Structure 1
Amino acid sequence: MKAMLRMKFLAVAGMLALIVAGNISAQEPIGGPYTADNNTMILLHFEGNYTNESTFTNDAIGHGSSQFFPVGVDPSLGQCLYLDNDAQGDSSYVTVAHDADLDLTGDWTIEGWIYVLTFGTGSSDWRWVPRLIIKPGDEVFWRPNFFVEMWGDFRFFSFGYHDASQNAWPQVNTPNNFMEPGQWYHLTFIRDTAGKVIINMIHNTNRELIYFGSEPYESFSTFPPITTGQDVHIGWAGAAGLASPSTDSWLDGFVDEIRVSNIVRNFAIPPVITDVTTLPNQPTSAPSYPVSARVFKVGSAGTITTVTLHYSTDAGGSWSSMAMTPGGNDTYSAEMPGQPLGSIVNYYIEAVDNGGLSSTSPASALTLGEYYGFGVYELNTQTIELTFEEGPGNIPVDTSPYGNPVNVVGAPSHSTNAAAGTYSLYVEGDSSYIEVTTPFLAAPEFTVDFWFNMDSLEAFRRIVSLGTSTGATNYMVFLMGDSTMTAESSIPGQPSGLRDLLKLSTKISAGQWYRVNYQLSATEAWLRLYDAGNTFIEEKRITITGPANLLDGRFRVGLLFNHTLAFGGYVDNVRVWNYPIDLVGIEPVGEPGIPDKVELFQNFPNPFNPATEIQFQVNKSQKVNLTVFDMLGRKVKTLVNEEVSAGKYKVSWDGTNEASQRVASGIYFYRLQSQGFEQSRKMLLMK
C-alpha cells in the first residue's frame, strides 16, 4: 500500500535500528528451510512444484511464465521460483486459494525470500510496487488483509494491512533507498497483539539482520485487520474478478521459502522501542527535558538489561549518555539537562537485552544519523534577521540571537539595489534560493516581515515560506494570478486555508520595492503592504481559530519546499518573530507631527495592579526593543522587539513573564533600546 510516511523535524517514531551482539538460546533459525506445524497456514518451498506443506490450506497455483531455478538463496533451500515479468504482458504470479485460515486478524508472522531483478519508478510502469505477498481487498486490491511490498520510486520495503474501518493502513517501512536490485533479502512481517506492535525484519543471505523496525499499530488504528474473500497472491497485487485490478505491482524476480503463520515465531527479535517522547521546541525556562519510552521483548524469551538515552548539542559531534529508569508498563524515563538559548538538541534511545541484541529509536540513528530533535527558544523573540549587509561574495548571515546557519542553493547574489541599508539579495528566478533548516522558525504564532522587488509578475511565486508543500505551510507569502499579494498558513479546522481571506486588492508593479508584514495569533491574522518609502498602503485583517500548524519543512527565501515555481527579483531585511509583534498590544498613539527625539515615558498608573501602560516615541523608522527586568537585572518579559516608523506608541504590561505567569509584587525596570539610544525607568507592581 502506498506508504503513509510520517515525516517530523527527525525520523519516524518507533522505527528501530539493529546491532546484533549475541543470540538467545532455543530460538528458531530464520530463513528456512521450515517444516509445517499447527500454526503454519502457508509453506511453499518451490522445489519444482507448487506444493503447500500446510494442512490447513490448498496447494498454490502458478500463472503465466513462472520457472523453477535449481539455485536460489543457498543450497539448503534448494530450488527457487522465477516470476518472469520483464515485459508488460508476461503476467507471472502465484495464488493460494482463499480460506478462512488465511484471513489473519490476530498474531502473525509472514515471511519469504525476494530477489528483485528489474523494477519501475512510477505508476506508468507495471513493476512500480511489486508484491512479495498480499491478500487483496474484495472491492479494490489496495484494501488487503496483509501485504509485503517494495516501492520502486524510493526503493523501500513496506509491510502492513488495511483495517476493518477501511480508513487506515497500519504499516512499518524501511528507509528509502534500502533495496538494491540483484540481491536476496529475507523479509519478515510480525503482528504481535500482546505488545500491540507490528515489526519488520530484513536479513541478508548470511541470515544477518540488516534492518529492524517497529510501530505501535494503534497509533494508526484501533480496528482489527480487514478480512477478504480473495486468494493470497504472490508476485502481483491482484486480483482476477475485480473491476480495477492492479496494473503496476508485478514482480520481475525470484521468490523462495514463503511461510505464513498465525503466531509470532520464536525468532531472535531485538528489543522493541515505541511511544518515544518526541519533544517540541523547549523554552529557555525549562530546567530539563523529560523523555520516556516503552521498551519490551516480543516473541522469544529474554529480558531488557539496559535502556540508554543519548543526546548531543553539537550536531552529533559528541554524545552524552544517561541510563533510563524503569517504571511500570515497560516504560523507561530520563531527563536531559536544560540548555542555553539557540541550542539544538538531538537524541535517540538504545536498548539491549540479555542476549546481546540491541536496537535504537529512531531506527536509523546509528546508520543514517537520523535522530529526534528540538531547539531551545525564548518566547517573544526574533528568530531570524537577514539584512544581507555582509555584502557580495559572502553567505547571508542571520544576525538574530539564534544565529541560524543559512544554506545557499544556486547562485543568488548581493545587489546595491536595496530597500534598507546597502545591499539586498537578488534571486534570479530559476533554481536559486536560500534555506534555513533549524527548528526555530516554525511557530504557532508569528510575525513575518520583509521587502521585495519583483522582476516580473509571475503568479504563485513564493517569496518567503516555511512548509512542506503548497497545502501544508506554517506560513508563506506569495503573488496571486491577478498580481495581488496574499499569505497562507495551515490552520486546524480551516482546511481551505487563508489565502482567499487575506488577499489584498493592491496590484503589485514589477521593478518596485514593497514591504510585507504578515502576523498571526491564536485569534487573528493580518497582512499589511507598504510602499518603497515604508508608507502604509493596505491591510487585510481576519478572525481565525488558530494557532497555525507547526511543520517540519524548511524556511526558504525564493522557493517553497517541494515546489517548482521560483521567485525572481530582490529581497531585503527578511525578519521573523515567534510571536505577533503588533497583535500583542503595541499601538500608535496617533498624535500629529513627527517627534524630534527618541524618548521613553513614565508608565501610568504607577504603582499599578494588575496592568500599566508604557509610552515611547521615535523620531525616525528604526528597530526598538522594550524589555522589563527585575531588581536583579533578570529579564522578565520583552514587550516590543521590532522596527517601527517615526511616531509615538503605547504598550501595556499585565504583570506577567514570558510564560504568561503572574510575577511577584515589587520594583521592576523597563528599558528602551534603539539606534544609539538607551533609557530605563522604574515602576512598582503592588498586589
Structure 2
Amino acid sequence: MKLKNFILIGLTPLMFFSACVKDEIYNGPATIDKVSIMPEAPKSTDDVTVNAQITDLKGITSATLYYRISPSATFLPVTMKSGAGFMFSGTIPASPLNTKIEYYIEVKNNGGFTTVSPSNAPAKLASYTVGVSSAVKIFINEAFSDGTKDATDPDWVEIYNGSDIAVDLSGYAFYDEGIKSSAGAKPKRILNSGTIIPAKGFLVLKTENTAGEYAVEFGLGSSGDAVYLENTTGIVVSSLDFSSISLVGKKSYGRQPDGSTNFVIFTTPTKGTSNN
C-alpha cells in the first residue's frame, strides 16, 4: 500500500509539468497555408474568390481579406467565411480590364496573436491583373429627344460597349416605343453591315435626318418615349425607358456611370462621350 502511494505521488509532478509544457507550445499565432485564387486568370466579368487554409487550436476571432486597386493606398476589408477542412474564403468584386488588384489575409486568434499572408504584409502583397473577357455587354447609354426637326441637331441615342472586345452590331434592330407598340405595322431600323462599336466605345445613332443612311427614321418624344436595341435573333439586349420623363429644354437621359443601372437627367448632354 505504501508503495502504490509513492508511485502516484511521484507521477503527479511529471503530469503537471507535461500539461504546462503543452499549453506553452500551442500558445502562438494561427497558420495560413494553401492561399489561392479562383479563377486563376480573372477576366473583367469575374468575381475573384481568395481561398486559404487557416488552422489554430485555440480558436480564431477573425479572418479578414484586405484588397486594394493599385496604386490606391486604401484597402477594403472582406470578412472571410469558414468552410470544410479549415478552409476560409473571401470574394473580391469584378474589376475592369488591366486593373491590378493587391491583397493580403489577416488572422487574429484567441491568444491575442495576429498572422498575415504574405508573411510581411502589407509591405509585400499578393496580386493579380484582370485580363480580357469575351463577354458582350451592350447598353443604350443616353437619349436626347428635344432636337431640331432638321439635320442641325436631331434626336439621337448613344450606345455604349462595356465589353473588353469590339462588338459587331450588323443586323441589330433599333426602334422606339411607337414602333414597338405598332405590332409590326411600322418597321424597325436594321443597322447596316459593318456597324462596329469598339471596346469601351460609344456609337451615336440619329433617329431622324440621317442623310439617307437609313430608310427607317423616327422622332423621339421629348415628353416621354423609350428606345430598344434587339440582336439578330430577336432578343432585346438593351433598352432605355424615359416614357414618364420630360426632356424638354435640350436635356438628355441616361446611365451614370456608363453601363450602370443608375439613371439621371443630364442638363448638358454628353453625346458620344462618357457619362461618368
Q: Aligning the two structures, in what range does the TM-score lie when normalised by the shorter sequence?
A: 0.3 to 0.5
Q: Quick check: which one's strand share is greater?
A: 1
Q: Quick check: which one's helix share is greater?
A: 2
Question: TM-score of the superposition, structure 1-length normalised?
Answer: 0.19
Instruction: Give the structure, 1 or 2, with the largest relative contact order (CA under 8 Å, sep 6 or more).
Output: 2
Question: TM-score of the superposition, structure 2-length normalised?
Answer: 0.43
